[in-house]
A and B are shown apart, each in its own frame.
Chain A
Amino acid sequence: MSTYFMFTLKAFVNQLAFRSEVWLRLLGNYFAILIQVEIWRAVIGNGGSASTTVEQMITYSILNTLLFALLLNRVSSKVDGSLKSGSIASELIKPLSYPLYLLFDGLGQSLYQFIFTVIPSLILAWILFGMLPPASTIHFIAFLGALLMALILSFLLGYLVSLLAFWFLSHFALSWTLGGLITIFSGSFLPLWFYSPSWAAVAKLLPFQYLGYVPAAIYLGNQNEAELWRTIALGLIWIILLLVVAHWLWGKAVRRLIVQGG
């Protein structure tokens, strides 16, 4: 296992080379949060609507903007790069698990983002826009669990796309499609409770909600304990399901690579 943590460390150190862009990311996050804050102020107003206050929506927006920076969304482009350059072959000969290598490499980048982007942005946003505390201790713990699930699911989705690219050869089209699905069903801008009932019902069955809506909604205490457990259980089912599919596809992909010689 320590080998894989080395990949995390290496990815982290690699990112340090882009230190000069830290301030820019901070500015970018500030813009992104500012846009959402102004939108919610415009539509909800200072009085607040029946169910949701502006403060809640500001917190929701901050959490989602920063969560997005943490997600492992570079997996498929990394695999695509080594497929195109042909270095995938040498990655596969190494005596280690390629998927695990990808995961820990991605975690390294997320760790970097967490320290250099998320924490400073969080402090900045808290000072400039204000943030609500988590609804309760239970909700906060569940929120941390949901964050972990978001990381894992984002990795699995990106990984699946990269495996499908073995057949379609167009990672570009697949990742744009995945991006579109995430935009529609993650609820990262518009919380699912604002969706019309039929759209909300669909979104609540899909795994994309865990990349946006679920962690923030849990943090705000929008789900009571029974709902909380149901959400987490469904998330785990999705993780297991995607793991099984990924494992199966991976076997086929490797065989395809060997047969076709890359």
Chain B
Amino acid sequence: MSIIAVNGITKTYRQYRRFPGLIGSVRSLFTRQYTEEDAVNNMSFTINEGEAVGYLGPNGAGKSTMIKMMTGILVPTNGDIKVLGVVPHEARKANAQQIGVVFGQRSQLWWDLPVTDSFDLHKYIYKIPDSAFRKNLELCMSLLSVHEFVQKPVRQLSLGQRMRVEIAMALLHEPKILFLDEPTIGLDVMAKDQIRRFLRTVNRERKVTIVLTTHDMKDIEEICPRMLVVNKGSLVYDGSVEDLRAKLGSERKVIIDFRVDPGLLDIPGITLLQDEGIRKTFLVPRGESTVFEHVSRIASQYPVEDASIESLDIESVIRKLYLQLASEEQPISKIG
């Protein structure tokens, strides 16, 4: 069953031009010139109940605009959007009651008060019954180990602790969908890991649908079986991480440790990615000769200590996708 249905959504921003000088500022009171820019352009997709979807794209791709439209903050210029069967901005309050939103860089907590006070207020805002509140609070606090600092004022928490609190709070009213805008930005490895594990649990066990934007591919790999990749306001990929890798990641990364540094190697068909002296990393395409053949050819010419073959990490896959998109665009932008 689809829980979010986005159909032909466009969001156009108007950028007003200011006229310079005093006469200009008077003039801009009467006439306003503006340029229009589509942050989201004719986008369509559906998300089913219980999915975990990663929403990614380069900066300025229209990620947060889309999140804002799905959460009812912004009104789309064109197209239909339905979240849990209602149009978010029309039924903003009803929609808000059913969703949880975490903005990575915009705290909703009370800076000078203990964490419990923010939780407590949340209960009043969302009119959560006592028993449900206690149950959910207990669950979130134990899974995110919030207990240890729940009595501390928010200003004394680390960024990772604060983010854990934000996420716990967003789940207290049992939302059906959880939107997260860059939930792991700026966190250390441990904190990231804990949040990812928690989100996976929330998604798999409590069946909360998750939509998250991120720049960290690890978030996608660990939480989201499905990803939506956007570029310049348009959807360019919708599918699983594996499929994208199969489509684009036909190369393998080969790391070879030599006994002595062989110097500059020039092997046709192979690209040197990284040179650390006796350890070199190559990018090897799969074509007429197999990866193994390449490796054994090198080993026959130079003394090789060790070799390992890896598939491309998701980061490289995405980078490749963006590069491909950029090169496809070239002719279009020349025409336009």
Distance between Cα atoms of A19 and B25 in the complex (Å): 11
Residues of B contacting A20 in the complex (Cβ-Cβ under 8 angstroms): 22, 25
Q: Summarize A's interface: helix, strand, loop or mixed.
A: helix
* Chain B, residue nearest A22 (CB): B22
Distance between Cα atoms of A20 and B21 in the complex (Å): 8
Q: Which of B18-43 contact A (CB under 8 A)?
A: 22, 25
A69 CB → nearest B CB, Å: 20
Distance between Cα atoms of A20 and B25 in the complex (Å): 8
B208 CB → nearest A CB, Å: 39
A30 CB → nearest B CB, Å: 18
Number of interface residues of B (CB under 8 A): 2
Q: Which of A12-45 contact B (CB under 8 A)?
A: 19-20, 23
Residues of A contacting B22 in the complex (Cβ-Cβ under 8 angstroms): 19-20, 23
A3 CB → nearest B CB, Å: 33
B79 CB → nearest A CB, Å: 38
Residues of B contacting A23 in the complex (Cβ-Cβ under 8 angstroms): 22
Distance between Cα atoms of A23 and B22 in the complex (Å): 10
Distance between Cα atoms of A19 and B24 in the complex (Å): 13
Distance between Cα atoms of A23 and B21 in the complex (Å): 13
* Chain B, residue nearest A23 (CB): B22
Chain A 119-135 interface 0/1 with B at a Cβ cutoff of 8 Å (1 = within): 00000000000000000
A85 CB → nearest B CB, Å: 15
Distance between Cα atoms of A164 and B303 in the complex (Å): 74
Chain B 37-78 interface 0/1 with A at a Cβ cutoff of 8 Å (1 = within): 000000000000000000000000000000000000000000
Residues of B contacting A19 in the complex (Cβ-Cβ under 8 angstroms): 22
* Chain A, residue nearest B25 (CB): A20
B30 CB → nearest A CB, Å: 16
B23 CB → nearest A CB, Å: 12
* Chain A, residue nearest B24 (CB): A20
B29 CB → nearest A CB, Å: 12
Distance between Cα atoms of A19 and B22 in the complex (Å): 9
Distance between Cα atoms of A19 and B18 in the complex (Å): 15
Distance between Cα atoms of A254 and B25 in the complex (Å): 46
Distance between Cα atoms of A20 and B22 in the complex (Å): 7
B25 CB → nearest A CB, Å: 6
Distance between Cα atoms of A223 and B22 in the complex (Å): 44
Distance between Cα atoms of A23 and B26 in the complex (Å): 12
* Chain B, residue nearest A19 (CB): B22
Distance between Cα atoms of A20 and B28 in the complex (Å): 13
B167 CB → nearest A CB, Å: 29
B169 CB → nearest A CB, Å: 28
Distance between Cα atoms of A87 and B25 in the complex (Å): 35
Residues of A contacting B25 in the complex (Cβ-Cβ under 8 angstroms): 20
Distance between Cα atoms of A19 and B20 in the complex (Å): 11
B214 CB → nearest A CB, Å: 30
B5 CB → nearest A CB, Å: 46
Distance between Cα atoms of A124 and B76 in the complex (Å): 50
Distance between Cα atoms of A20 and B27 in the complex (Å): 13
A115 CB → nearest B CB, Å: 16
Distance between Cα atoms of A160 and B22 in the complex (Å): 39
Q: Which of B81-134 contact A (CB under 8 A)?
A: none
Residue positions of A touching B, CB distance < 8 A: 19-20, 23
A-B contact pairs, 4 of them (CB 8 A): A19-B22, A20-B22, A20-B25, A23-B22
For the complex of A and B, 4 pairs with smallest distance between CB atoms: A20-B25, A20-B22, A19-B22, A23-B22
